[in-house]
């Protein structure tokens, strides 16, 4: 994901993950002095000041563990791929958690591939399970891994490659039927290096037994610069963000809920009565005010595989609303939350909330349409600086990670819009990615992307409720 860097936001969701294992590194944050925070009127104390740690600065009493590291050998002999990004966690067998983790790799990242830099481990996988084998024995290096994690012992049980041969698997989202939808953030065409077109979503089961899924591109969900998705459990409709400065928000209405491969309709979000609304607030500050709410219409899209990569232009011309780099998206609190990483007149970011219609996706939707609200736009980089992935905490707060231009943090957002700092990248200026909670609520998982680390954070989560 490209993004600018600094502070962040809020938004929704909860699903989980876990991991840890041999060589697990633990970093307690009760050593060293508190790190002072600059706070504005919209902030609250949260869990208290941060204390220095080797990987994350966290409040006193919280523990961070490294549970996966790029280059380590996984079950089956392949290597943990680099650039871990979006994730979700699901209930696994015998009380374990299964985490499905994206890896945002492309052809230039062969040294971070699961197959090793010279592809010498490529023979360890059935060639028919690689989506795009490329040419000259150089397949696409993106995909996903599954991590089976025991949150009681805080130990990783196993990790394995679960999708192979895709490209730039950025974010995605969990489904209510225990799969992960992984999204390609690219519109690369078949040609000199690629044997196939890219820019699609793929479905990966949250399974605990090793072995990659047979790839199937969900082409009717649209071909564009995908970022994240969220599924409304009531309707089975899938909402999608597009990581472009002039992107749209889409929904996919499946012919059969829960069976996305059986086709469906792709539509783009439009503000009722405001044709081609520019929600970015770049040219006219407060064209859309924080807290402002719109009724929503959905515009049918044609030619959704978009060979010219013009889906967003055709949608906007037809009346769809334009958004500033749609990034993370999650379902929680009966709504879909999504981040626009450089929205707002300061280009520091926005968080939006879409409440689906009780008749979402049906003919009756016209009478009681869904509603879109600009949930947060502080225009203050001390509060929000290019929000990226987000999730929903078990206690109802949005947990957001930043990809800004310097330090990157974990920020909590209360339902009333107040913010608190939950953590900070202590290792580097890399973006943080993939926040998600284990199903039992005990563990927050996230990635330090450029350092190739997956982390598990535990602590007195109940303290915020007081």
H helices within 214-361, ranges in order? 311-317
- Render pLDDT for 108-117 as a digit per residue (tens, 0 to 9): 899 999 999 8
14: pLDDT strictly greater than 60: no
pLDDT digits (tens, 9 = 90+) for 429-464: 999 999 999 999 999 999 999 999 999 999 999 987
Which residues, at least 6 apart from 276, have a Cβ–Cβ distance to it below 8 Å? 316, 317, 319, 320, 321, 322
**pLDDT interval class at 224 (50, 70, 90):** very high
Whether residue 289 has pLDDT greater than 50: yes
Percentages (nearest 5) of helix, strand, coil residues in the chain = 10, 40, 55
Residue 414 burial (CB count, 10 A): 17
Q: Hey, what are 45's tokens?
A: 């104390």
CA distances from 324 to 41, 142, 151, 339 (A): 26, 25, 37, 9
Q: Where are the domains of the chain?
A: 25-465
Q: What is the arithmetic mean of pLDDT over 220-238?
A: 98
Q: Would you tell me which CATH number, out of the four given (2.60.40.10, 3.40.1480.10, 3.30.70.890, 2.120.10.30), belongs to the domain 25-465?
A: 2.120.10.30
Q: What is the pLDDT of residue 117?
A: 84
pTM recorded for the entire structure: 0.91
pLDDT at 149 over 70: yes
Out of 106-120, 138-152, 355-369, which region has the weakest mean confidence (pLDDT)?
106-120
Looking at the chain, the whole-number percentage of residues with pLDDT higher than 70 is 91
Q: Give me the residues paired with residue 372 across strands.
A: 294, 354
- The CA distance from 183 to 228, in Å, is 7
Query: Token pair of 166, please?
Result: 């895709």
- How far is residue 190's CA from residue 182's CA, in Å, rounded to a whole number? 20
């Amino acid at each position: 994901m490209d993004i600018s860097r600094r502070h962040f936001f809020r938004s929704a969701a909860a699903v989980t993950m876990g991991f840890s294992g041999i060589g697990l590194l633990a970093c307690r944050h009760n050593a060293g002095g508190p790190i002072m925070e600059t706070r504005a009127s919209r902030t609250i104390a949260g869990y208290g000041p941060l204390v220095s740690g080797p990987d994350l600065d966290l409040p006193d009493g919280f523990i961070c563990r490294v549970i996966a590291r790029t280059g380590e050998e996984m079950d089956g002999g392949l290597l943990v791929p680099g650039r871990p990004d979006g994730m979700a966690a699901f209930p696994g067998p015998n009380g374990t958690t299964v985490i499905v983790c994206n890896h945002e790799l492309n052809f230039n990242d062969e040294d971070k591939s699961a197959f090793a830099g010279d592809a010498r481990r490529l023979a360890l996988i059935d060639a028919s399970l690689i989506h795009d084998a490329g040419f000259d024995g150089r397949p696409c290096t993106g995909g996903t891994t599954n991590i089976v994690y025991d949150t009681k012992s805080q130990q990783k049980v196993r990790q394995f490659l679960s999708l192979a041969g895709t490209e730039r698997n950025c974010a995605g989202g969990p489904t209510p039927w225990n799969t992960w939808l992984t999204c390609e953030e690219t519109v690369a065409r078949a040609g000199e290096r690629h044997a196939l077109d890219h820019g699609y979503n793929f479905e990966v089961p949250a399974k605990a037994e090793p072995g990659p899924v047979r790839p199937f591109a969900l082409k009717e969900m649209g071909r564009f610069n995908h970022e994240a998705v969220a599924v409304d459990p009531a309707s089975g409709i899938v909402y999608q963000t597009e990581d472009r400065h002039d992107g749209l928000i889409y929904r996919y209405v499946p012919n059969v809920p829960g069976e996305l491969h059986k086709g469906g309709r792709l539509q783009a979000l439009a503000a009722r009565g405001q044709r081609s609304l520019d929600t970015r607030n770049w040219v006219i500050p407060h064209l859309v005010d924080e807290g402002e709410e719109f009724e929503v219409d959905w515009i049918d899209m044609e030619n959704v595989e978009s060979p010219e990569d013009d889906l967003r232009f055709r949608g906007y011309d037809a009346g769809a609303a334009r958004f500033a780099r749609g990034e993370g998206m999650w379902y929680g609190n009966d709504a879909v939350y999504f981040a626009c990483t450089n929205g707002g007149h300061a280009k520091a970011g926005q968080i939006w909330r879409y409440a689906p219609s009780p008749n979402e996706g049906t003919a009756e939707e016209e009478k009681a349409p869904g509603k879109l609200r600009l949930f947060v736009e502080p225009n203050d980089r001390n509060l929000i600086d290019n929000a990226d992935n987000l999730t929903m905490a078990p206690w109802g707060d949005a947990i957001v990670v930043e990809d800004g231009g310097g330090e990157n943090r974990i920020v909590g957002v209360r339902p009333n819009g107040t913010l608190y700092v939950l953590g900070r990248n202590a290792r580097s200026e890399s973006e943080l990615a993939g926040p998600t909670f284990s199903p039992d609520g005990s563990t927050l998982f996230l990635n330090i992307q450029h350092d190739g680390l997956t982390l598990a954070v535990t602590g007195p989560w109940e303290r915020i409720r007081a």
